[in-house]
Every structure is written in structure tokens, then in C-alpha cells.
Chain A
Amino acid sequence: MAGCCNNMRRGLAYNTQLGGMVGKRIRSNILLIIIISLVLSVSGQLLLKRGIITLGEIHLDSVQAVFLLLRAFAIPAVQIGILCYVASIIFWIVVLSRVELSFAYPMGSISYIIVAFFSRIFFHEHISPCRWAGIFIICAGVFLVSITGPENNPQA
């Protein structure tokens, strides 16, 4: 999810025009905030997964899905997962307001690799070489999308 929400904050960061105004000194501090945000986002995903699998598979073709989803919010792991996720977004907004997007975005996509690593450990997911390749290729793509930056002026 972190990857998706980036786009929203990208809009905010453009509006404030903060990207690219900060020197290298702050980067070392921001690295810590990036790591905190990544750790929170990855733990959030893992907790959500941990919580939701206790309900079994949810299928959208029955009314039961609504009740299952409501029950999901009563699961402690899901609740903590949501908290982690919200906290990671707050840290991420701080990150985006302080560093260039071309630096922040690829950092965000690293979470895909970390998530895959821990899903293997915690949920015994089988990750085929094909899937690993896909994950790394996506990271490369995100890197390319972000490194090239906006083509036009941010303010419309």
C-alpha cells in the first residue's frame, strides 16, 4: 500500500515545492525516518496478513463477506496493523516533504523486497525465482519512473 499512497503525497510535495530544497546533511537524518517508515509499513502488512488469515478466505460473491470484513476489525493483529500503517504514512509524509522524490520513491519500493523476505519466513510462502525476478524488476521500474522526475513544472 505504501507504494500507492506515494502518489497522493507526491501531489502534496509538489504543491509545497519542498522537494529538492534540502542539502545532504539532513539526508543522513532522513534515512532514519525512512527506515522507521519502512519498518512500520512492512510490519503493518505482515500484521494485517497475520490477522486476516485467521478468518479464512473471503469471497466477494456472498453477503458473508461483509460480516467477515467487519469481524476483521475486531482482530488485534489487524488493529495493530492499521495503526502501524497509519504511522508509516505519517513518517512517509515527513520524508516526502524533506527529500527529493527520486530519492524517496525507490526507497519505498524496497519494501516489496523486505515484505517478500518476511512472508517467506513467517508465512512460509513459496517465492519462485520468477516471483523474485518480478519483484526486483518492479523496483527497477519504480527507480526509473522516479529518477526521471516530473517533466513539467509542478504547479499547474
Chain B
Amino acid sequence: MYPLFIILGVVMLMVCGQILFKEGVKKLGLKEITVLSVTRNFFLVISRPFIFSGFVIFGFSFLMWLVALSRFDLSYAVPLLSTSYIFVLIFSKLVYKEKVGKMRWLGVAIICAGVWLITLS
């Protein structure tokens, strides 16, 4: 189980980073967010506390990913990143109180089954 914790750590940090990005982008209050508008105002965007901390957390998750890669098969580690879908769904349900349909829960259950199979191998 221990190897899985490292990858779960990567995924958790990543999801946290993404949520911070989402919050940061919301707070920007831009009407339209395009690749162009973000790159034009890159420094303005990156200096926002939420987005900046999102980047820092992303950096940590990348370092952790390097640790994972140094120890596990690529064909083991990469598919396990899909656990992010599970966390994001739980998070959207609990924090953002989004409605999550049955089919999506089923999809996540299937992802769990796949993850379980991979951890067996």
C-alpha cells in the first residue's frame, strides 16, 4: 500500500493546486478567460495569492511525481493519476455542492475498479 500513498500524495497536491487555480481564476473577475488574455496578463495573473499558491503546490506535486517515477513502473504510475477524477468528483460534491449524476458516480466506480486492478499487478 505504501507505494500507492506517494502517488495519492501527487494526486492530492495536484487537485489542491487545481482548486486553488479555480478559486484564483474566479477571483480575477475577468469576463473572458482565453489563452491569449492569460498570457498577456501573465505576471498579473501569477501574482494573485490563490494562483501563486496553486503553482507552488503544483511544483511540490511535480517533485513528488519525480520520486514516484524513480521507484515505480511508468505503466503503473501513470494510470493511477486517474484517481484525480475521484477526488475532484468528491470535492465538487462536498465543497461546491454540485449535482453529480449517477452515470458519473458509475464512471468513478469503474475508475476505482481499474485502479484496484493495477495495484494488484
Binding site for B on A (CB under 8 A): 1, 3-5, 7-8, 11-12, 15-16, 45-46, 48-49, 52-53, 55-58, 60, 65, 68-69, 72, 78, 90, 93-94, 97, 109, 111-112, 115-116, 119-120, 123, 125, 127-128, 130-131, 133-148, 150-152, 156
Contacts and interface: CB of A to CB of B under 8 A. Distances in A.
Given A69-B67, A145-B85, A125 B114 contact: no
B27 interface: no
A151 B101 contact: yes
B1 interface: no
B34 A11 contact: no
A134 B108 contact: no
Contacts, number: 179
Contact of B34 (A16, A65, A144, A152): A16
B96 to A, nearest CB: 7
Given A8-B22, A134-B121, A148 B103 contact: yes
Which secondary structure characterizes the binding site on chain B? Answer: helix
Given A58-B70, A60-B67, A125-B74, A130 B107 contact: no
B107 A143 contact: yes
B118 interface: yes
Given A65-B67, A131-B118, A137-B113, A148 B107 contact: yes
